[in-house]
Amino acid sequence: MLSFLTPLYLLAGLAILAPILAHLVRKRPREVMDFSSVIFLDASPPRLTNRNRIEHWLLLALRSLILLALALAFARPYLKTLIEQQTSAYPAKERILLIDTSASMRREGVWEQAIQKAKEYIANSQPEDSIAVVAMTDRIESLHSLEHSRQSGISERKILASKSIDGVTPTWLSCDLGQCMLQAMELLNDSRSDQETKTPAEIAIVSDFQSGNPLDSLGSIQWPQDIPIVPLVCQPKVPGNATISILPRTDDSSTAISENTERILVRNANRSKKDRFSLKWLDSDGKPIAAESQEVFVPAGQQQILVLERPTLESNGAQSPLVIELDGDDQWFDNRQYLYRGKKQKAKAICLDSKKRDPKDSLWYFAVRVPISQPSLDVQWEIFDPTEEFKESDHKDLRLVIASSDLSALWAQKLRELIENGLHVWWILDRPTGTLQGDQAGVDPARLEEIWKTWFPNDAVAISERTIDRFQLLQNIDMSHPMFSAFSDPKFNDFTKIRFWKHRQVQGLSSNDWRILANYDDGTPAIFQRPLGKGMVSVVASGWQPIESQLALSSKFVPIVVAMFEQASPLQQDPDYRCGERIPSQLALENWQSIVQQQSDDVGKELRLRDPQNDGVFIAPGIFKASDQEEFVAVNLSKSEGLTDPIDLEEFARFGIPIGQPTSPSNQPESVSRKNQLAEQMEASQGGWWWILLAVSIFAGLESLIAAWRTRHWASLSNNNR
């Protein structure tokens, strides 16, 4: 109010005209004396003197200075100083508003809160602030940039920022909060890189802050202390959530299930008020397959795994797409999982062994009884005699070859090309070499060495029968190799019960070329392998049939043979496509049509791809079909989006991130207080007006003294004249 009256107080300076006019006004003659003789004369007006010059300059100056000083004191320049120009109650800020548009924001009431809080944040910002609006999922997407905001007029900044939110809706993607915060900070750093004095900045985050948001990436940097975050938390109308996921199929014996069953994980949030749910299968049209459903009880904060029989719906020899749906949950967005196992691939594993021998004394008798098929791969065992003709047409999709000592040089030569292209061959030296007891002829070592040179011509090895008086055990087993990794636990790595009655000795192995997986306890190599091209050749210096060892009769035999095949053909997990993941090149087509999706009208009917060649991602869950193919794609929501329990905001403090408070009418008193404080500081910096008032007092005192002295002086003169 005082600053408003400042110009009016300056007008008071015109009061100096009063003493000037008073000193210039015409006055009666100063001395009038009456004489007795003049009573006989006619009265006439006294002659007035016209003051054409100022008398008593000192009094005039003092009186004028008093009036000017008073006007100046009350109309002191209440202007902004240099400090005030650089500092105000709320200096202009650069603000980045992150809006979470992930799938969990689809919960009832959450998105409405998000829009409301975002617009309130914009409305409560200062007109001079620059505001960027950014959508946040697993990456950030700018809706309104800082540069655009700065280039806009001050009166338009809030309007443009608020309009950029209109039309934004939640996606089906996951949210990586930590990564998005880092990207937002980079935007601020880029914006402030050319500033000599950094503009104050902050990052506001509109999100449900669900626990599925990863924050670990925040530990990769030291967060700047001058960039606080302002969390604007959105909460659903109904707390809690139950979510389901289909677990991958595995050959682990502890979790092995039949081929026609699926393991379903049901997880209930900590804040859930419901604990009873049901599961039911739907077909590719989204219709229930059976009237009955599977009931499940899951207390809040717990999880349960159910094994459900998968309906046997087939189409063109492949399992038809299916949907598993959870009923009884208040939050619908993550209650469906889509399943398509597809057609099983075909593969072959062959055993090269003589068919003339007693089956129980052969390799193939035990090998073909090991089930090596995988969930998505149907493996067929075939037996070939080394004397048979090699036909390439018979070996399409060949993954593994187990060859006995009867392997011929012709087969070895044919297999070399396949090995170099990725085939794995296990050569089992299961027949004694040299001359046996009773003049029985064993396998000619020279023939074995010739086959060896077919694959490794630079090797100089010597193969001979190892004569021993006792059985041999395995030692120095390489438990890190896939063949033995299943036995790495001390509870399972006891191989002392596997005895080898006979074995061959291979001399001349180069340790630089060959990897020794196990030795016999006499120190000779038992199992060793070496890559050849893209494939692998592995050699076992003894057979596994009972006439050679106890390996085939051991409980470890099946896992070892399975490991042999899995090294040759690594276990292929079923496709598990998630929203937000990059689309494999083989699926980057333009004609995928939706068959069944989530129960929401805002999801499109096509599997839209964002630039399939460069940045194609799945953007919606559901089952999709290529119109020109009989193939399907099942896309599910990211598992992290179902973890809806809110995180503790103190987690940000663990990363050294300062947390600010949003500007709102509730803290306006703080703004007024701050302004008053600055006004007081400015008032103190302008304390010269006190000196002006002191001068007024001095001038007034001098004027009074001089005026009093003159009055007494003229009175004294008057008395003397009388």
Q: Render pLDDT for 235-285 as a digit per residue (tens, 0 to 9).
A: 999 999 999 999 987 644 444 456 778 899 999 999 899 999 999 999 877
Q: Residue 64 pLDDT > 80, yes or no?
A: no
Is 435 in contact with 442 (CB distance < 8 Å)? yes
Q: Please give the torsion angle defined by the CA atoms of residues 694, 696, 698 and 700, in that order, rounded to the nearest 10 degrees.
A: -150
Query: Does the structure show a pLDDT above 70 at 334?
Result: yes
CA distance 486 to 534: 25
Mean pLDDT of 576-593: 71
Residue 83 has pLDDT above 50, yes or no: no
In the prediction, which pLDDT does 661 show? 86
Task: Please report the pLDDT score of residue 36 as a whole number.
Answer: 62
pLDDT over 70, % of the chain: 72
Give me 547's structure tokens: 């006439």
pLDDT of residue 22: 63
Token couple for 427: 């050569």
Please state, for a pLDDT cut of 90, what percent of the chain lies above it.
44
CA dist 416 and 176 (Å) reads 49
Supply the pLDDT for residue 123. Answer: 93
Separation of alpha carbons 438 and 436, rounded Å = 6
pLDDT digits 0-9 by tens, 509-538: 998 999 999 999 999 999 999 999 999 999
pLDDT on residue 603: 44
- Mean pLDDT is highest, among 108-122, 245-259, 563-577, 656-670, for 108-122
Q: What is the mean pLDDT of residues 636-656?
A: 92
Res 608 pLDDT > 50: no
Q: What is the largest CA-CA distance in the chain?
A: 193
* pLDDT 10s digits, 137-169: 998 999 999 999 989 888 899 999 999 999 899
First to last CA, the chain: 59
Report pLDDT for 78: 45
Residue 335 clears pLDDT 80, i.e. is over it: yes
Least confident range from 240-249, 335-344, 594-603: namely 594-603
Rounded Cα–Cα distance for residues 502 and 429 (Å): 10
Kindly tell me if the per-residue pLDDT of 612 is higher than 70.
no
Q: What is the mean pLDDT of the chain?
A: 81
Instruction: Give the pLDDT score at 109.
Output: 94
pLDDT band at 575 (very low <50, low <70, confident <90, very high): confident
Query: Which range among 13-17, 106-110, 698-702 shows the weakest confidence by mean pLDDT?
Result: 13-17
Highest mean pLDDT among 6-15, 193-202, 426-435: 426-435
Looking at per-residue pLDDT, the higher value among 51 and 583 belongs to: 583
3-state secondary structure of 719: helix
- Alpha-carbon gap, residue 445 to 456, rounded angstroms: 16
Q: Is the pLDDT of residue 456 over 70?
A: yes
Distance CA 656, CA 645 (A): 23
Average pLDDT over residues 641-663: 90
Residue 602 clears pLDDT 50, i.e. is over it: no
Take residue 226 and report the two structure tokens written for it.
């001058």
Q: What is the mean pLDDT of residues 404-412?
A: 92
Mean per-residue pLDDT, 651-671:
75
- Ranking 47-51, 388-392, 518-522, 660-664 by mean pLDDT, the lowest is 47-51
Question: Average pLDDT in the 172-192 region?
Answer: 92
Does position 434 have pLDDT exceeding 90, yes or no? no
H-type alpha helices, 584-687: 612-615, 651-654, 668-685
Q: Which residues contact 604 (CB under 8 A, 6 or more apart)?
A: 594, 620
Q: Which tokens go with 698?
A: 């001095």
- Quick one: pLDDT at residue 397? 84
Residue 75 vs residue 136, higher pLDDT: 136
pLDDT the model gives residue 261:
85
Lowest mean pLDDT among 303-312, 422-431, 432-441: 432-441
